[in-house]
Structure 1
Amino acid sequence: MGIHTIKMPDIGEGIAEVELVEWHVKPGDTVVEDQLLADVMTDKATVQVPSPVHGTVVSLGGAVGEVMAVGSELIRLEVEGAGNASSSKGSGRASSLSSSAPDAVISAAKSVVVPDSKPGPESAPETTIEVGVRPMSERGDAPRRDAAQPNAAAPGAAVRKAGEKPLASPAVRKRAWDLGVQLQYLVGTGVAGRITHADLDAYVAQGAYTAVATGRGAAYLLRDEETQVPIIGLRRKIAQRMQESKRRIPHFTYVEEVDVTELDALRERLNIKWASQRGKLTILPFLARAMILALREFPQINARFDDDNGTVTRYAGVHLGIAAQTDAGLMVPVLRHAETHDLWSCAVEIKRLADAARNGNAVRDELSGSTITLTSLGALGGIVSTPVINHPEVAIVGVNKVVERPVILNGAVVARKIMNLSSSFDHRVVDGMHAAEFIQRIRGFLECPAMLFIE
């Protein structure tokens, strides 16, 4: 038997290090050729690492969440034959890790939690420090209850099933209310489990609760648990990107309200006629079209700023990033050459990209290279937002929810559908006047939707 060492593979594109986001094996597991060993994440996407050989896992080279250099030891397998590693480095299941791995990582059984959920950064393990409900009376020198005594249930642990009403007379209920005692936590010693005054006296005498005074005299058990959630995988990448964007880019946000009554009426008419054949239209394809037309007049906004080299690259094609919320976190798939799409093909592609991001099927090229981003929270869009620019872009257009409001139109008060655009710009390369004019141009297209189809 020999030892076969698998190194962290070179993902390409000049990537020097990756983050280990999930193990699919643990020491002692038998693996076969092409079986998945681990998921690693680059700046762009999650990559799955398969085994090139049959063997038995000896040790793991890193913990979930660890950033590992390309070429460092990922895993050791015990294989038939000589293997590719010297026996002096250790053989068998008790061998130590190579020098490229941290000494603290002994084995997956002790240091790596392997979730049962599907692969991906959304399955990052959560480490719970303490769970349960602990009354204040259990702190310090407060009296504790004897588990052998009546009414000595675990702190905060109901003695009845959810929805089961405790039996007690009106007088006992009123007295419990005045004392701030929740009858759900008492064991009744009366007939059919009825809670008596004696049960209530015993519960209070044992110091089984601490009253937290409120205006009505009620008391509540204080929850004292803490949960630590490791920031790894996609969530770590999002945190790094957002921090980098706010650190590097001096944001300013411009908000404008748009009357989308006519636009929404047009969208509904188009859906009535064409939805069964071409698919349903949302408001996003219209917004994308308005942005594309407006960017022809403001090419400095369809750009990426390399602040290390001090250069701005302007793009003739619009590679539109569509911010999509996934279970793993925010992702920005890219609609390349959005200017070549009509409303329906734009809608189909936006849906396809969003679904691919949510299902974890988006490829690397679909998650990079955007030149401007469109973000929307749909019905949760609120009134105003301050979106963070997708670095190294110089602008992001944010969409707030559509609300029906009274508006004075031609001297009369009428109901109109109003939507705010909350958009952020890089003040180093986009002047406030140009940003305002850009948004006003988008507004003009949306308020007079016929203009969207005139070249």
Structure 2
Amino acid sequence: MARFSFRLPDIGEGISEAEIVAWHVAVGDRVEEDARLADMMTDKATVEMESPVAGIVIELAGEPGDNIPIGSTLVVIETEGETESDTVVAENPGVEVATDATPACLTPPEADGAASTLPDSTPAKAGAQLGDAREESAAPATTTTDAGPRPTPGYEEAEAPAAASKHPILASPAVRARARDLGIDLSQVRADGDRIRHADLDAHLRYGQAQGYHAPRTSRARADETMKVIGMRRRIADNMAASKRHIPHFSYVEEVEVTALEAMRADLNTHRGDRPKLTLLPLFIAALCRTLPDFPMLNARYDDEAGVVTRHGNVHLGMATQTDAGLMVPVIRDAQDRNVWQLAAEIARLAEAARTGKARTDELSGSTITVTSLGPLGGVATTPVINRPEVAILGPNRIVERPVFVDDGRSGDAIRRAKLMNVSISCDHRVVDGWDAASFVQALKKLLETPVLLFAD
């Protein structure tokens, strides 16, 4: 027998260490070649570490949340052979599955539309627990054994009655907990994809209520939980803290009438053919891109260490997206060159890639301005946190119907029904003045209230 030391490879991007996000093996497990060992997170992405050899795991370096220096031993595997091996895997260590998160609110998704500057990482703890073979220290949720393949990382098979489908039911812990609270049997929920998501629960509830079903009204106490802040959640925490610590925020909110915009959107969807269905967001982004050329100080990034502001000509628009792993900000490149149908398609593609962990690193960095929306949750107004090092972030809020007074030109004021929406903006006061932010929103308001201008040359 021989001992093979798998050392953490140089994942690239000039990093010196990476954080253990999750183990997929435990001490004593047998692993096959190319089996997943661990998920390691850098400032830019989470990378899967795969075993270059088959054998028995005899040592693990640290626990989830620990930082491991590049080149240090990550896993020791006992292999069949006569000589001891001590190897560093240098090429293609794994597959990127997620990216860093940045400060912003929710989307219709936190990671990083802009490569936010993180505080210095804590000293690595690798080696401190190397050789600690306690069984309880490394019991993973998904382990490679001779029994067969493991479920998707971060998702567990939901309990299902004996009469349920033979196919495994995949759902995140958050979805499973919500289903338990609502009294929903996950085996009865139809998944729109490879696993059950919150949207599937919402659809199930809507259908169930139509059939006379109502969620239990009684509340149940839940046990206290203590959770380490690691991986994506720690990136979000670090980035949001850095943004609020370094950037003097100010926010401005304006009411916009979107009656005509919503009517035009409904008409476009009626005649869309095989093109994607339009939500408010692509129309809002189109208006934003038309407005920004007159306000270049908003489509900018500020390097406060160098004291340099870069005003960008192209709009690389960050789209704050909520995922099961946390907030990510995929980026719509050159948004100013896309029509509303192309924007709608790219929004859907990037949101799905972020939520399924398939977004590439270059799709989650380099944004110049960010839009965040709570979608159906709405909200009267928001004060979003800037996606550092950008200098502005905008958020459309919930559309509401209210009576408004209008001068009909004959008998004085008349009352009509109108659709109204507040638009919020937060800016970096070191770069953007309040007058500029207000003027920008007023120009944006004009386009949103006269949407035919979006299609005028």
Distance 1:31 1:104, change over 3 A: closer
Pick aligned residue for 1:300 from 283, 297, 302 = 297
Partner in structure 2 of residue 421 of structure 1: 423
Partner in structure 1 of residue 14 of structure 2: 14
- Residue 120 of structure 1 and its aligned partner are, at CA, apart by 4.7
Pick aligned residue for 2:132 from 83, 87, 106 = 106
Distance 1:84 1:300, change over 3 A: same
Measure the CA separation in 1 of the matches of 2:226 and 2:255. Answer: 41
Question: Amino acid of the residue matched to residue 83 of structure 1?
Answer: E
Distance 1:332 1:30, change over 3 A: same
Count of aligned pairs: 350
Distance 1:304 1:81, change over 3 A: farther
Distance 1:254 1:121, change over 3 A: farther
> TM-score with structure 2 length normalisation?
0.73
Contact preservation (8 Å) 1:333, 1:366 = yes
Q: Please identify, of 366-375 and 26-35, the stretch whose mean Cα deviation from structure 2 is larger.
A: 26-35
Distance 1:51 1:343, change over 3 A: same
Partner in structure 2 of residue 397 of structure 1: 394
Q: How does 1:130-149 map to 2 (within 5 A)?
A: none
Partner in structure 2 of residue 272 of structure 1: 270
Distance 1:283 1:223, change over 3 A: closer
Query: Which protein has the larger Cα radius of gyration, Structure 1 or Structure 2?
Result: 1
Measure the CA separation in 1 of the matches of 2:453 and 2:328. Answer: 31
RMSD: 2.5
**What do the CA deviations read for 1:9-30 (whole angstroms, capped 9, x no partner)?**
2111112221111111111222
**Pair 1:437-2:434 in alignment:** no
- Residue 383 of structure 1 and its aligned partner are, at CA, apart by 0.3
Partner in structure 2 of residue 75 of structure 1: 75
Pick aligned residue for 2:319 from 304, 319, 322 = 322
**Pair 1:367-2:369 in alignment:** no
Partner in structure 2 of residue 211 of structure 1: none
Partner in structure 2 of residue 248 of structure 1: 246
Question: Amino acid of the residue matched to residue 359 of structure 2?
Answer: A
Q: Please identify, of 383-392 and 32-41, the stretch whose mean Cα deviation from structure 2 is larger.
A: 32-41
Which structure 2 residue ranges, 5 or more long, are not aligned?
Answer: 88-123, 143-150, 157-170, 175-218, 408-412
Measure the CA separation in 1 of the matches of 2:314 and 2:220. Answer: 57
Measure the CA separation in 2 of the matches of 1:420 and 1:99. Answer: 48
Which structure 1 residue ranges, 5 or more long, are not aligned?
Answer: 87-97, 127-220
**What do the CA deviations read for 1:107-156 (whole angstroms, capped 9, x no partner)?**
36222341246325999999xxxxxxxxxxxxxxxxxxxxxxxxxxxxxx
Contact preservation (8 Å) 1:255, 1:423 = yes
Aligned partner of residue 317 in structure 1, secondary structure: coil
Distance 1:315 1:284, change over 3 A: same
Distance 1:417 1:16, change over 3 A: same
- After TM superposition, the runs of 4+ consecutive aligned structure 1 residues lying more than 2 A away are 83-86, 107-110, 120-126, 221-226
Contact preservation (8 Å) 1:121, 1:232 = no
Answer 1 or 2: higher relative contact order, Cα 8 Å, separation at least 6. Answer: 2
- Residue 62 of structure 1 and its aligned partner are, at CA, apart by 1.5
Q: How does 1:166-177 map to 2 (within 5 A)?
A: none
Measure the CA separation in 2 of the matches of 1:223 and 1:419. Answer: 37
Distance 1:27 1:222, change over 3 A: closer
Partner in structure 1 of residue 335 of structure 2: 338
Partner in structure 1 of residue 257 of structure 2: 259
**Pair 1:3-2:3 in alignment:** yes
Measure the CA separation in 2 of the matches of 1:124 and 1:21. Answer: 16
Partner in structure 2 of residue 132 of structure 1: none
Measure the CA separation in 2 of the matches of 1:450 and 1:333. Answer: 28
Measure the CA separation in 2 of the matches of 1:99 and 1:264. Answer: 55
**Pair 1:119-2:117 in alignment:** no
